[in-house]
Chain A
Amino acid sequence: MSSSMLDRILAPNGLRCYAQPIVHICGSRCTVTSVECLSRGPRGTPFESPGVLFDYARRKVAECDVDRVAVATALAGAQSLPGTLGISVNVHASTLGRDAMFVDFLVGVARQCKIELSRLTVEIVEHSPVWNATKFLHSLRLMRELKIRIALDDVGTGQSNYRMILDAAPDCFKIDSYLVQTAHADYKRRAMLASILQLARDLGGSVVAEGVESVADLEAVLYLGITLIQGYIFSRPLPVAALPPVIARINTLPVPTSPRPTLCLQKVSTGIHAFGEN
Chain B
Amino acid sequence: MSQLGKKHKAIGARVWRLELRQFGHHRALYLPAMPRLLVIDDDADLRAAVTEYLLSLGYEVHQAAEREEAEALVANYSYSLVITDLSLTQLGAEGFDLLRTISNSNSRPKLIVVSGHAGSGHRELAKQCGADAFLPKPTPLATLGEAVRTCLSPQHTQKAP
Which chain A residues have a beta carbon within 8 Å of chain B's beta carbons? 1-2, 4-5, 46-47, 49, 51-52, 55-56, 59-60
Chain A proximity of B115: nearest CB distance (Å):
21
Residue of B nearest to A54 (CB): B72
16 additional A-B residue pairs with CB within 8 Å, beyond A2-B65, A5-B66, A52-B72: A1-B44, A2-B44, A4-B65, A4-B66, A4-B69, A5-B65, A46-B62, A46-B73, A46-B76, A46-B77, A51-B76, A55-B75, A55-B76, A59-B68, A59-B71, A60-B68
Q: Is the CB of A52 within 8 A of B65?
A: no
Q: Which residues of A contact B62 (CB under 8 A)?
A: 46
**Contact of A55 with B44 in the complex, beta carbons under 8 Å:** no
Question: Chain A contact residues: over half helix, strand or loop, or mixed?
Answer: helix
Chain A residues closer than 8 Å to B64, beta-carbon distance:
5
- Give the chain B neighbours of A1 by CB distance below 8 A: 44
Closest 7 CB pairs of A and B: A56-B72, A59-B68, A2-B44, A55-B72, A52-B76, A46-B62, A60-B68
Provide the residues of chain A in CB contact with B76, threshold 8 Å: 46, 49, 51-52, 55
Known: A46-B62, A55-B75. A5 touches B69 (CB 8 A): yes
Q: Is the CB of A59 within 8 A of B72?
A: yes
Return the chain B residue nearest A46 by Cβ. B62
In the complex, how many angstroms separate the beta carbon of A5 from the nearest chain B beta carbon?
5
| B73 lies within 8 A of A52 (CB) | yes
Bound CA–CA A60/B76 (angstroms): 16
- Mark B61-85 against chain A: 1 for CB-CB distance below 8 A, else 0: 0101110110111011100000000
Max count, chain A CB within 10 A of own CB: residue among B44, B62, B73 = B73
What's the nearest-Cβ distance from chain A to residue B39, in Å?
A: 12
A1-B44, A46-B62 as given contacts; A56 in contact with B77, CB under 8 Å: no
How distant is the Cα of A55 from the Cα of B64 in the complex, in angstroms? 14
Q: How far is the CA of A59 from the CA of B68 in the complex (A)?
A: 6
Task: Give A52 to B65 CA distance when docked, in angstroms.
Answer: 15
Instruction: Please measure, in the bound complex, the distance between the C-alpha atom of A55 and the C-alpha atom of B69, giving whole angstroms.
Output: 9
Which residue on chain A has the smallest CB distance to residue B45? A2
- Shortest beta-carbon distance from A55 to chain B in Å: 4
Most A C-beta atoms less than 10 A away, residue of B62, B68, B72, B75: B72
| Complex alpha-carbon distance, A26 and B62, angstroms | 46
Cβ distance B161 to chain A, nearest Cβ, rounded Å: 28
A-B contact pairs, 30 of them (CB 8 A): A1-B44, A2-B44, A2-B65, A4-B65, A4-B66, A4-B69, A5-B64, A5-B65, A5-B66, A5-B69, A46-B62, A46-B73, A46-B76, A46-B77, A47-B72, A49-B76, A51-B76, A52-B72, A52-B73, A52-B76, A52-B77, A55-B72, A55-B75, A55-B76, A56-B68, A56-B69, A56-B72, A59-B68, A59-B71, A60-B68
The residue in A2, A46, A49, A52 that gathers the most chain B C-beta atoms within 10 A of its C-beta is: A46
Give Cα distance in the complex from A56 to B66, angstroms: 11
The CB with the most chain B CB atoms within 10 A, among A51, A55, A56, is that of A56
> Within 8 Å CB of A2, what residues of B?
44, 65
A150 to chain B, nearest CB (A): 28
Tell me which residues across on chain B come within 8 A of A4, comparing CB atoms. Answer: 65-66, 69
Residues of B within 8 A of A47 (CB): 72
B73 and chain A: residue at smallest CB distance: A46
CA distance A60 to B66 in the complex (A): 10
Identity of the chain A residue whose Cβ is nearest the Cβ of B76 in the assembled complex: A52
Task: Tell me the smallest distance from the CB of B107 to a CB of chain A, in Å.
Answer: 14
Cα(A1)–Cα(B42), bound, Å: 10
